[in-house]
Amino acid sequence: MSKIIAVTNQKGGVGKTTTSVNLAASLAETGRRVLLIDLDAQGNATMGSGVNKHEVAHTGYDLLMGHADIRNIIVRAGDAGYDLLPGNGDLTAAEVELLDKDNRERRLRAALVYVQDDYDLVLIDCPPSLNMLTVNALAAAHSVLIPIQCEYYALEGLSALLDTVEQVRAAINPELEIEGLLRTMYDARNRLAGEVSAQLQAHFGDKVYRTIIPRNVRLAEAPSHGLPVLRYDKTSRGASAYLALAGEYIRRAAEQAQQRELAQNQSGSNNETQTSLA
């Protein structure tokens, strides 16, 4: 079964789509089977994956409205190395039309059941706002990855997002957890960036990824060529950073799996002890 991660932040311009595209490409580079879902009506993740958002036959809108089967919507993202469920301006209509639909918060979750064994990881690029599309992503996800720019208003916006995650966990998806916080567009020369970074580490500890995504010209240029930075310039600092992030994610996932196995073994051992005593 695939791990589903929503990449989200209610504040725009923090590197959410950049992270979705480049983490997908970096994980695919390691041999993982990756699906990237573009749930943002701007369709930037679609274009950044080398797919023309104006020419696709179907998008996430058709999926959420029940107009097409998920397997008929997913396309190959060219040289990026992963599969893509594209998005474009049609998703704007979905925000409104979903309000009148049954099971409106869980439509993406229900659809992903049919491809859950086809992928090791599903990444969802969410809109920079809390709407029905974002709620669908959070309802479908196992965890949330939060790109955050180290600037003055970052912590305030983060607080609002964490409140939203808690509300979704309580009302819709009790399994939802925080995957990690990713510092993006980082400029080490900026004193404020260092101060905010230190605050994040103090408040969230191990939830903050050690990997930091720097400001990088190649990273900014890559989307205009319809390529992840790994395919545009593999030697760039941006490409190196996202490869490092993929490696860190893989190591974390392995450690978490080992901890779960140990906990299950311990639980089984305790049960056996109690049975023998009885």
Per residue in 16-42, pLDDT tens?
A: 999 999 999 999 999 999 999 999 999
75-76/83-85 β-pairing: antiparallel
Q: For the chain, what percent of residues have pLDDT higher than 70?
A: 96
Per residue in 77-123, pLDDT tens?
A: 988 999 999 999 999 999 889 988 888 999 999 999 999 999 999 99
What is the per-residue DSSP string for 26-92? HHHHTT--EEEEE--TT-HHHHHTT--TTT-S--HHHHHHTSS-HHHH-EE-GGGSSEEE---THHH
Nearest to 2 by CA among 118, 124, 83: 118
pLDDT band at 273 (very low <50, low <70, confident <90, very high): low
Classify residue 106 as exposed, middle or buried by CB count within 10 Å of its CB (0-12, 13-18, 19+). middle
CA 65 – CA 62 distance, rounded (Å): 5
Once rounded to an integer, what is the mean pLDDT over residues 250-265? 87
- What pLDDT does 271 receive? 67
CA distances from 220 to 23, 44, 92 (A): 15, 13, 26
Per residue in 133-183, pLDDT tens?
A: 999 999 999 999 999 998 877 777 788 889 999 999 999 999 999 999 999
- What pLDDT does 152 receive? 79
- What pLDDT does 158 receive? 86
**CB of 47 closer than 8 Å to CB of 32:** no
Query: pTM score, two decimals?
Result: 0.92
Q: Which residue has the higher pLDDT, 47 or 275?
A: 47
Angle (CA) 156 45 229, round 5°? 95
Torsion of CA 81, 84, 86, 91, to 10 degrees: -130
Per residue in 48-61, pLDDT tens?
A: 999 999 999 999 99
* Ordered structural domains, the chain, with CATH: 3-277 (3.40.50.300)
